[in-house]
Amino acid sequence: MPSAVSTQIQLVSRPQGWPTHEDFRTVQVTYGDLAPGEVRVENAFVSVDPYMRGRMNDARSYVAPYALGETMEGGAVGRVVASASDDVPVGSVVVHQLGWRDIAQADASAFRVVPDLPGVPLSLRLHILGMTGLTAYVGLTRIAEMKEGDTVFISGAAGAVGTAAGQIARLLGAKRVIGSAGSPEKVALLTEKYGYDAAVDYKVAPIRQQLADVAPEGIDVYFDNVGGDHLEAALDAFNDGGRAALCGAIATYNADGPVPGPDNLSNLVTRGLRLEGFTVGKHLSAAPEFQERMGGWLAEGRIAYDETIVDGIDHAVDAFLDMMRGANTGKMLVRI
Amino acid sequence: MPSAVSTQIQLVSRPQGWPTHEDFRTVQVTYGDLAPGEVRVENAFVSVDPYMRGRMNDARSYVAPYALGETMEGGAVGRVVASASDDVPVGSVVVHQLGWRDIAQADASAFRVVPDLPGVPLSLRLHILGMTGLTAYVGLTRIAEMKEGDTVFISGAAGAVGTAAGQIARLLGAKRVIGSAGSPEKVALLTEKYGYDAAVDYKVAPIRQQLADVAPEGIDVYFDNVGGDHLEAALDAFNDGGRAALCGAIATYNADGPVPGPDNLSNLVTRGLRLEGFTVGKHLSAAPEFQERMGGWLAEGRIAYDETIVDGIDHAVDAFLDMMRGANTGKMLVRI
């Protein structure tokens, strides 16, 4: 079997504030013959995600910090082109966490074979049918314990998790789904494509005031992709017994130091509110239930999604920075 | 039946920051003959509690603000001295919410008859066997979902709720119970009388640092009576999956404006933490279970308690202000 040259992106320094190209390098790795049990995968799509910024810091977190001088780990989907494992034959579609590289070669245990559903693009495995969709589903059903008739507010609503969460909330019987996003175009997309009942542009006026205007009867569930002023706004808008699922804090990822929390946490006591953070990795047991329901919704044509695609592994850093800046609509992906 | 003169304390203005005597007035109310269904109660003890400060503000809360010009509502226990209700005969011990007055007269539905247990002082109905104990029990079992083997941190640990919570946590199988209080005397009491494994004086050094020192293996449950820097300290000390029951925020009750929240809320996501506020009024269904368990623990002599008693309804405001300042040990009560 011929050797293969894999182009990979590695982290070489820990960013202070916003990452720059200087924090990364591109390397060529030559893979030789497969060892017994190994497979070689040509990636179709590689994922860039907000949580990656957290792993670039040398801080205690739910996953270890990225090692300097190693290839960036993260979700990817591809097809097996060579195999020395009976479990993962050539031609299989696989998802894995080997990240920012065009070709991956490793023990078969690093790859998970998924059904190659007709009419379902491989890229969906990295978002709406993958961890992104599962994150939205777990946050709503397991963390916020959303009930039929709830009014649901979602921040970062035009992002990959946000668009999934809005549609799932609707399909689970929300009375009203409200989203926030950072441009007029995204706001329009939320109501026109993703079925939000109302959407606001948080750059136009303080979100605290806008949320009060658009949710005069209060909110019951808050799905937080943003943190900061959005969490403060939600705490003000919550009805008694409100629940927040905190999934990310993109507003504070690039802060240089500690960021003050909301000034209205005392509402937790007076209104009996709950804030709960989560990472999807602790809730993988919900995956079969999720995949069955989401597979059904997709088959019925009830789920819309957007992808923003950047071509070429050499542009993974650009894709990541664009995503952090909010330049994407829906899931940001690198196509190989 | 003779009429009765009741001395009552009323709120006349909404305090800005710390309340003063000028915010209250003392009035004499003459009660005439009982209407059908009414009872007259001579109070034995009247309660002063931190939550009352919140009700003095004209702000949305879990209970309505106190009305100006009305007698301060709150917990009280007494004995029925006259009755026009078959349900509440003369001699009954009753608890009620008619508050800061020496004699109460109202429809029988305002009073709840409780057993007159031999050897159990009436005053316990206003704390360890009453709402205070129930608050500690609900916070640990229903909100923080404490499990055997958890390390539990309790702020305001020398207060009425705190001393109850520490002992209940121990009896429920905590691995380690840690408390904070505001004087060397209280800190000593926590370990010597209330069975805390460790206690710190938050006035000596930043609580964030002290908690890290005294809980090197982290905490699993935080029972928050304080808010502010204590919540920040707990968020730093939490192990993955930690749960906080937020019961009060005495540190911020008297603030003139909004108080910034903790600067480390992002730990909620990275460690999968939960913060949940509660008020005991929403969890009264736990009362029978609580009373049975606490009654048993009291009978076995496994529960210690302290009371700080101020004599005379005329000194209710002094008692309240002393309690807010932390001058009490254990439950602050006004004895009639």
Bigger pLDDT: A333 vs A330: A333
Q: What percent of chain B has pLDDT over 70?
A: 96
Of B227, B263, B264, the CB nearest to A266: B227
pLDDT band at A251; cut points 50, 70, 90: very low
Please tell me the predicted confidence (pLDDT) of residue B34. Answer: 95
Give me the torsion for CA of A286, A292, A297, A298, rounded to 10°.
110
Three-state DSSP at B108 gives helix
Mutate to test the interface with B, among A61, A135, A208, A265 (most CBs of B within 10 A): A265
Residues of B in contact with A246 (CB under 8 A): 265, 268-269
Distance from CA of B305 to the nearest CA of A (A): 25
Determine how β-strand A38-47 pairs with β-strand A331-335: antiparallel
pLDDT band at A256; cut points 50, 70, 90: low
The rounded radius of gyration (Å) of the Cα atoms in chain A is: 20
Max Cα–Cα distance, chain A, nearest Å: 67
Please tell me the predicted confidence (pLDDT) of residue B194. Answer: 95
Residues of B in contact with A271 (CB under 8 A): 62, 277
Looking at the predicted structure, is the pLDDT value of residue A150 above 90? yes
Mutate to test the interface with B, among A253, A270, A280, A282 (most CBs of B within 10 A): A270
Nearest to B83 by CA among B108, B101, B104: B108
- Please name the residue that has the structure tokens 């001058």: B327
pLDDT band at B274; cut points 50, 70, 90: very high
Residues of B in contact with A269 (CB under 8 A): 62, 246-249, 277-279
Give me the torsion for CA of B194, B196, B197, B198, rounded to 10°.
-120
List pLDDT tens digits, range A2-49: 899 999 999 999 999 899 999 999 999 999 999 999 999 999 999 998
Distance from CA of A260 to the nearest CA of B (A): 4
pLDDT band at A157; cut points 50, 70, 90: very high
pLDDT band at A228; cut points 50, 70, 90: confident
Distance from CA of B117 to the nearest CA of A (A): 33
Q: How far apart, in whole angstroms, are the C-alpha atoms of residue A232 and residue B262?
A: 12
Residues of A in contact with B247 (CB under 8 A): 269
Mean pLDDT value across residues A242-248? 93
Of B62, B252, B268, the CB nearest to A277: B268
Of B62, B274, B275, the CB nearest to A270: B62
Q: How far apart, in whole angstroms, are the C-alpha atoms of residue B80 and residue B101?
A: 14
What ipTM does this complex have?
Answer: 0.78
The reply to whether residue B268 touches residue A259, judged by beta carbons under 8 angstroms, is no
Residues of A in contact with B218 (CB under 8 A): none
Residues of B in contact with A248 (CB under 8 A): 269
Please tell me the predicted confidence (pLDDT) of residue A146. Answer: 98
Of A247, A270, A273, the CB nearest to B269: A247
pLDDT band at A59; cut points 50, 70, 90: confident
The reply to whether residue A270 touches residue B240, judged by beta carbons under 8 angstroms, is no
Please tell me the predicted confidence (pLDDT) of residue B95. Answer: 94
The reply to whether residue B258 touches residue A277, judged by beta carbons under 8 angstroms, is no
Q: What percent of chain A has pLDDT over 70?
A: 96
Please tell me the predicted confidence (pLDDT) of residue B51. Answer: 83
Looking at the predicted structure, is the pLDDT value of residue A249 above 60? no
Determine how β-strand A219-224 pairs with β-strand A238-246: parallel
Instruction: Find the angle CA(A300)-CA(A305)-CA(A309) to the nearest 5 degrees.
Output: 140
Q: How far apart, in whole angstroms, are the C-alpha atoms of residue B233 and residue B247?
A: 16
The reply to whether residue B277 touches residue A270, judged by beta carbons under 8 angstroms, is yes
Helix %, strand %, coil % for chain A, to 5? 30, 30, 40
Residues of B in contact with A278 (CB under 8 A): 269, 272
Mutate to test the interface with A, among B270, B273, B278 (most CBs of A within 10 A): B270
Of A247, A260, A274, the CB nearest to B261: A260
Q: Do domains A4-127+306-335 and A131-281 have the same CATH topology?
A: no
CATH, range A131-281: 3.40.50.720
Domains of chain B, residue spans: 4-127+305-335, 131-281
Looking at the predicted structure, is the pLDDT value of residue A254 above 90? no
Looking at the predicted structure, is the pLDDT value of residue B330 above 80? no
Nearest to B265 by CA among A65, A156, A247: A247
Q: Which residue of B has its CA nearest to A265?
A: B261
The reply to whether residue A263 touches residue B265, judged by beta carbons under 8 angstroms, is no
Q: How far apart, in whole angstroms, are the C-alpha atoms of residue B308 and residue B45?
A: 12
Looking at the predicted structure, is the pLDDT value of residue B253 above 80? no
Bigger pLDDT: A335 vs B59: A335
Quickly list H helices, chain B: 51-56, 131-138, 160-171, 184-192, 207-214, 228-237, 250-253, 267-271, 287-299, 316-325
Homologous superfamily in CATH for domain A4-127+306-335? Medium-chain alcohol dehydrogenases, catalytic domain (3.90.180.10)
Residues of A in contact with B240 (CB under 8 A): 62
Determine how β-strand B219-224 pairs with β-strand B198-201: unpaired
Distance from CA of A169 to the nearest CA of B (A): 21
Q: How far apart, in whole angstroms, are the C-alpha atoms of residue B313 and residue B103?
A: 10
Determine how β-strand B331-335 pairs with β-strand B38-47: antiparallel
The reply to whether residue A269 touches residue B275, judged by beta carbons under 8 angstroms, is no
| Per-residue burial over B152-168, b = 16 or more CB atoms within 10 Å of its CB, e = otherwise | bbbbbbbbbbbbbbbbb
Q: How far apart, in whole angstroms, are the C-alpha atoms of residue B134 and residue B283?
A: 9
Looking at the predicted structure, is the pLDDT value of residue A76 above 70? yes
* Contacts of A278 by beta carbon, 8 Å cutoff, 6+ apart: A138, A139, A142, A143, A245, A246, A247, B269, B272
The reply to whether residue B275 touches residue A268, judged by beta carbons under 8 angstroms, is yes
Q: Which residue of A has its CA nearest to B224?
A: A269
Of B262, B266, B277, the CB nearest to A227: B266
Please tell me the predicted confidence (pLDDT) of residue B66. Answer: 94
B101: DSSP letter: B
Of A261, A269, A275, the CB nearest to B249: A269
Three-state DSSP at B36 gives coil
Looking at the predicted structure, is the pLDDT value of residue B251 above 50? no
Mean pLDDT lowest among A215-224, B211-220, B277-286? B277-286
| Per-residue burial over A72-106, b = 16 or more CB atoms within 10 Å of its CB, e = otherwise | bbbbbbbebebbbbeebeeebbbbbebbbbbbbbb
Distance from CA of B55 to the nearest CA of A (A): 10
Burial of A242 (C-beta count, 10 Å sphere; 0-12/13-18/19+): buried
Helix or strand run (H / E) with residue B242: strand B238-246
Average pLDDT, chain B: 92
Bigger pLDDT: B240 vs B270: B240
Q: Which residue of B has its CA nearest to A243?
A: B276
Looking at the predicted structure, is the pLDDT value of residue B84 above 60? yes
Looking at the predicted structure, is the pLDDT value of residue A252 above 60? no
List pLDDT tens digits, range A160-214: 899 999 999 999 999 999 999 999 999 999 999 999 999 999 999 999 999 999 9
Distance from CA of B284 to the nearest CA of A (A): 14
Looking at the predicted structure, is the pLDDT value of residue B256 above 60? no
Residues of A in contact with B259 (CB under 8 A): 263, 266
CA B253, chain centre distance (Å): 14
- Centre a 10 Å sphere on the Cβ of residue B3 and count the other Cβ atoms it contains: 11
| A308, β-bridge pairs | A332
For domain B4-127+305-335, the CATH class is alpha beta
List pLDDT tens digits, range A113-140: 988 877 788 999 999 999 889 999 999 9
Mean pLDDT value across residues B239-264? 76
Residues of B in contact with A206 (CB under 8 A): none
The reply to whether residue A249 touches residue B264, judged by beta carbons under 8 angstroms, is no
pLDDT band at B109; cut points 50, 70, 90: very high
Residues of B in contact with A268 (CB under 8 A): 246, 275-277
Q: Which residue of A has its CA nearest to B60?
A: A270
Query: Does the CA dihedral B180-B186-B190-B192 come out positive or negative?
Result: positive
Max Cα–Cα distance, chain B, nearest Å: 67
List pLDDT tens digits, range A12-22: 999 998 999 99
CB A222, CB A244: distance < 8 Å: yes
For residue A126, give Cα distances in angstroms to A117, B222, B240.
14, 37, 26
Helix or strand run (H / E) with residue A27: strand A24-31
Record the tokens describing residue B155, joined without a space.
């702020």
Mutate to test the interface with B, among A224, A226, A271, A275 (most CBs of B within 10 A): A275
Bigger pLDDT: B295 vs B11: B11
- Rounded to a whole number, what is the distance in angstroms from the first to the last CA of chain A? 22
List pLDDT tens digits, range B119-132: 788 999 999 999 88
Bigger pLDDT: B335 vs A118: B335
